[in-house]
Amino acid sequence: MTKRRTAIRPAPPLPIAEVVARLRDEYGERPPRQRHPPLDELVETILSQNTSDLNSGRAYAQLRERFGSLAAVAVARVEEVAAAIKVGGLASVKAPRIQAVLREVRQRRGDLDIGFLAGLPLEEARAWLCSLPGVGPKTAACVLLFSLDKPALPVDTHVFRVAHRLGLLGPRVTPEQAHAILESQVPPEEVYTLHMGLILHGRRVCHAQRPECSRCLFADRCPARPLFESGAAGPGARAVARRLTASRRR
């Protein structure tokens, strides 16, 4: 007699308000990040792509120490810029990207100041940033949230992974689509708390490989937990990993 397999029935997703509340209870209110002028934030965010916060911070500090101003960075030889940011990795890609952005801003605005974005509605400011060369939705959201205090939600690898597993995002949602979907679900005043909480939870518990479901604060209601504990999450996890790899290029 063939043994019947028990179907895996994931728990229904938590409302996003409950996700935010649990993250706040677990990790507290995170202090605001040190605010940079928006163009500096944009440059530092480009430097943060595909590297650690520590290395990108060092690269930004060395860039400012070497050139003194972004105006000097814009007109420097690209090899000199690459040498200054080498510690951040992918310097040969990031140096021309940073210079292209700076030169485009100066051409459009007549100077290197994008503070005017603070006075625009969120979607207009986002569209303007995303029209710059090499600037995608995640980079734009970082500038909007951290420098301009606008309720844009940057979706990095941790945010996307945890939100996907919690059922806040559908299985076919891409990282690019995830920004608008998550922002539409959470009140503007909770965007920062959700962003920081999902990052911390992804780093500490909900790892890309071998998430620690037994000590997760969402263990009772996470739709993905039974899939991981049964070993049924393999192909799905690989699909998410592919999308995450693609998102790192933005």
Q: Parse the chain into domains and list their residue ranges.
A: 16-30+154-247, 38-147
Decide: 228 and 218 in contact? Cβ < 8 Å: no
Decide: 201 and 14 in contact? Cβ < 8 Å: no
**Residue 91's pLDDT is what?**
96
Pick the CATH number of 16-30+154-247 from 2.60.120.260, 1.10.1670.10, 1.10.1760.20, 3.40.50.10280: 1.10.1670.10
Q: CA triplet 182, 185, 187: central angle to 5 degrees?
A: 110
Annotated catalytic residue within 3, 86, 94, 138: 138
Give the CA distances from residue 150 to residues 91, 166, 192, 241, in Å, rounded to whole numbers and listed in that order.
30, 25, 10, 29
Rounded CA separation 126/139 (Å) = 10
pLDDT mean across residues, the chain: 89
At 23, which amino acid appears?
Answer: L
Q: What is the pTM of this model?
A: 0.86
Q: Is 94 a catalytic residue?
A: no
Decide: 105 and 112 in contact? Cβ < 8 Å: yes
**Residue 246's pLDDT is what?**
41
Pick the CATH number of 38-147 from 3.40.50.11890, 1.10.340.30, 1.10.10.60, 3.30.360.10: 1.10.340.30
Q: SS3 sequence, 23-91?
A: HHHHHCCCCCCCCCCHHHHHHHHHHHCCCCHHHHHHHHHHHHHHHCCHHHHHHCCHHHHHHHCHHHCCH
> In degrees to the nearest 10, what's the CA dihedral of 175, 40, 125, 120?
150
Residue ranges for the chain with pLDDT beneath 70: 1-11, 232-250
Q: Which run of H or of E encompasses 189?
A: none
**Residue 9's pLDDT is what?**
62
Decide: 108 and 67 in contact? Cβ < 8 Å: no
CA atoms within 13 A on the CB side of 127: 5
